[in-house]
Structure 1
């Protein structure tokens, strides 16, 4: 019987590893195709429908994108919005989640009801635009942060995590004379780093991918985040006239420029993820069964 179980376990492990490998390849091959196409020549892109590793590398697409300092400034804008927005959103979400996780909070159920209500119903684009306009946030980077300060779903995840922490930690801190802010910042947050890291990554990705709000609220091109600027680059690259005499060199193919744009917009987030991987793996198990 023991031998049969071992054989069954090995067969399961082989099948499981095979399926996971296939799924991993399905997910990673499109990204390799994007990166490879961004370094490929126009002739090779036209010849091969699915390109992974170009035979001749060229940086023409990236030179076209970074031909001016506009992209660099736009990337800096996105970095500022991402960092400032994530810190601001995490501060508000953490304070709100901690307050709502306390069972002795007066009116806790009613407050929670009105917060969840915003997940189901909202004013829409036009009323939100009017609010942003009337508060003087138009054409400012704050318009990309303040209107989306708190994501209700993320806040509820933090609230649930805080509720699952042992209440004895708070009681011990109160006996030692700690107030609510001391308990939150010295005990609750250090014990909740997996949840904090996970929600922070969610917020950071959302702010980095800001597009629609920038289109609606920003008229100054110098304040555009990278997503908006790169969209403009893709449009210009698609409409490039290859027969025009204004080009001294052969311009990069539009498909190569599009792929390079995707790489530029994706790589910064990929560089941040390894630093949060340890906490993110734990945070992904929020709500799972604990021993």
Structure 2
């Protein structure tokens, strides 16, 4: 079937808009890569755009050797891996019972969960609870505050409910209890949804900033987001005073900032391809109804 002239014009328009949107995402990233790899004098003179001028890894070397970035990177990994695992565990253990129609008080419990999306205890009461439990300056304060997302839990609950009842009934006839049904039947059928929510939780923990500022006062426990943000704001660090003036001019400005942002972004870019296959399926959850 031949496409009409109006259809061709619309197709060209849509592709043009999508290309422009893609370029607005790609070009700033390419600019950051070029800044982080270019020579210092080229960065200072504003000669760097989307391709490195020269090739200089001095900023990366300085960033990991003379700043708390490496320790902060380790903290970010611990916070992200531990927090994502705990959040997924609690989300599954909450969503699965609520998805079972024979659960007593199922509707009131779901309504109570929805209530938390509209109202919360607030920043100060939450801090007082963490402080009274002696959880401040520990990773547990970060994990408990962001332990479960009601929105993610409702997505998981909806997915569990849409699994055909014949499948669960067959498993129960074969002798599966609730835990076996969850582990051997429900979760294997839910890989796209699990991968999608894992990515959501992981990105949230990796980029966590405000909770770290509130609950972590010890600098040795702060994550990479806080360290990079501090560098973006103050533009200098105490131990730079030992460097000569030329080295400060080469590293302190845009180049070191670009390195910090790159170190923040690259880990998520590395993880995403492994989850992409499931993520594409997961974002289509609920888009088709029988």
- TM-score under structure 2 length normalisation: 0.90
Which one is further off, 84-93 or 4-13?
Answer: 4-13
The one-character-per-residue Cα deviations of 1:189-242 (angstroms, maximum 9, x if unpaired) are 110100000000000001111111111111221111111122233344347899
| 199, 202, 205: which one aligns with 1:204 | 202
CA contact (8 A) 1:44 1:54 kept: no
What is the distance in 1 between the residues matched to 2:208 and 2:80? 9
Trace 1:101-112 onto structure 2 (pairs within 5 A): 101-112=99-110
Which one is further off, 23-32 or 262-271?
Answer: 23-32
What is the distance in 2 between the residues matched to 1:210 and 1:236? 20
Shift of 1:94: 0.9
* Pair 1:154 & 2:159 matched: no
Shift of 1:50: 7.0
Provide the residue aligned with 1:259 in structure 2. 258
What is the distance in 2 between the residues matched to 1:45 and 1:65? 17
Instruction: Give the 3 Å change call, closer, same or farther, for CA 44–164 of structure 1 in structure 2.
Output: same
What is the distance in 2 between the residues matched to 1:94 and 1:49? 51
Shift of 1:23: 2.2
Provide the residue aligned with 1:173 in structure 2. 171
CA contact (8 A) 2:39 2:53 kept: no
* Pair 1:129 & 2:127 matched: yes
The one-character-per-residue Cα deviations of 1:55-92 (angstroms, maximum 9, x if unpaired) are 22222322221124732222111111111111110011
The one-character-per-residue Cα deviations of 1:156-194 (angstroms, maximum 9, x if unpaired) are 111111111101111001101101111111111110100
Provide the residue aligned with 2:186 in structure 1. 188
The alignment covers a number of residue pairs equal to 288
What is the distance in 2 between the residues matched to 1:235 and 1:170? 55
Provide the residue aligned with 2:161 in structure 1. 163
Instruction: Give the 3 Å change call, closer, same or farther, for CA 254–232 of structure 1 in structure 2.
Output: same
Q: CA RMSD in A?
A: 2.4
Shift of 1:5: 3.6
SS in 2 for 1:192: helix
CA contact (8 A) 1:45 1:51 kept: no
SS in 1 for 2:110: helix
CA contact (8 A) 1:65 1:233 kept: no
Unaligned runs of 5+ in 1: none
- TM-score under structure 1 length normalisation: 0.90
What is the distance in 2 between the residues matched to 1:182 and 1:241? 56
| 59, 74, 77: which one aligns with 2:57 | 59
What is the distance in 1 between the residues matched to 2:36 and 2:70? 19
Instruction: Give the 3 Å change call, closer, same or farther, for CA 170–245 of structure 1 in structure 2.
Output: closer
Shift of 1:136: 1.6
Unaligned runs of 5+ in 2: none
What is the distance in 2 between the residues matched to 1:236 and 1:137? 29
